[in-house]
Amino acid sequence: MEQRTPDLEALTRVAALIARRFGQHVPDAVLKQKVEGLLFRDKDIWGCFTDGLISSAELRDRFLAEMESWLRDDFELGWDTEQGWLTPEFEVAVDIAMRPT
């Protein structure tokens, strides 16, 4: 049986948009590595999803939260800055990209 995966390129583009929203320009290679780590290695949120431990909404929310935490921590942005960055457009883009291909 073929293993289905999310659209990593689309998720990397979303990650780039999130980074820019925080005023950071992060190389695509770094973003792709971070996305793959969140999904398959460090947090394995894709495995949690495919094992039925979390829903698609939880998968999306966890991805977005982890991206925010990474940007705020690694770029020393702090947690007292802009909190209203998350828009429905980000949620929709992640939902679409997370649909297994």
Closest to 9 measured CA to CA, from 39, 42, 47, 35: 35
Q: Are 94 and 63 in contact (CB under 8 A)?
A: yes
- Structural domain spans, the chain: 8-98
CB-CB contact of 64 with 90 (8 Å): yes
How confident is the model at residue 86, as a pLDDT?
Answer: 77
Single-letter amino acid, residue 76: E
Q: Would the pLDDT of 2 be above 50?
A: no
**Which DSSP state fits 80?**
S
User: How would residue 9 be classed by pLDDT, with cut points 50, 70 and 90?
Assistant: very high
What are the pLDDT digits (tens) for 22-60?
888 999 999 999 999 999 998 899 999 999 999 999 999
pLDDT at 85: 75
